[in-house]
Structure formats: C-alpha cells, structure tokens
Amino acid sequence: MAILEKEEDIINLNPDMEKLKKLNIFGIIVTSKGNDTDFVSRYFIPDSVICEDPVTGSSHCTLIPYWKKILNKNKFVARQLSDRSGTLYCRDLGDRVEISGEAIFYFEGNINI
C-alpha cells in the first residue's frame, strides 16, 4: 500500500505496469485523504488481464484499519477513483470490515458438473 498526499495525486496517477510487474506483487493499493470523502483509493493488478480493478471490496479490508488509526473513527465513506469508480460505505467491526454500496449486475450463469 502506498499513501499519497492528496486526492489529485491519486486521480493523476499513471503507473508503468511493466515496472510494477517486476516487483512480483499481486496488487498495489494507493490511497490518500479524500476531498469530499474520508479517503480515496485505486487498486492496480500488474499481472492481470485488467490492470486496474474498478471498485475493490477486498482492498478496503486493508484500507479501513489503516484509516481508522489515522482518522480515529469507525465509519467511513470511501471512493475508489478508477475510470468506472464507486463509493463504498465501510465500518470497522474489530475482527472484520463491513462494506456496502451500489453494485451493477455483471454476469449470470450455470455450471453443470
């Protein structure tokens, strides 16, 4: 996880995915305080078909404990600033994180075994 100074730094970030691939990491979270939300973030996955996850619930399981310490609160409004973007409503429950927000139905299917 990388902490940047301000929301505009997150918006303007244009990482070199080839260089990130050399770090041999699954993904990287970048975050900063938000202008109109508690914090903002983006999540990059250098070795994936998609280079940036548009709205990543799992990354907020790392972000919420971090921002809890920084902001000294348990409830958060977060915004992931990918091209598609999304707002997440999060709450630190101690041993887990509660996340809610709007979702878009993407896929339905059946698997026959």
- Domains of the chain (ranges plus CATH)? 2-100 (3.10.310.10)
- Residue 81 confidence (pLDDT) above 90: yes
What is the CA angle 41-57-12, rounded to 5? Answer: 20
Instruction: Answer whether residue 104 shows pLDDT above 80.
Output: no
Strands (E), 4-62: 28-33, 39-44, 52-53
pTM for the model stands at 0.87
Beta strands in the chain (DSSP E): 2-3, 28-33, 39-44, 52-53, 75-80, 86-92, 97-100
Task: Supply the pLDDT for residue 47.
Answer: 85
Kindly indicate the confidence band of residue 106, based on its pLDDT and cuts at 50, 70 and 90.
confident
CB 89 within 8 A of CB 100: yes
CA dist 79 → 45, 52, 55, 113 (Å): 18, 15, 9, 39
As a whole number, mean pLDDT of residues 81-86 equals 91
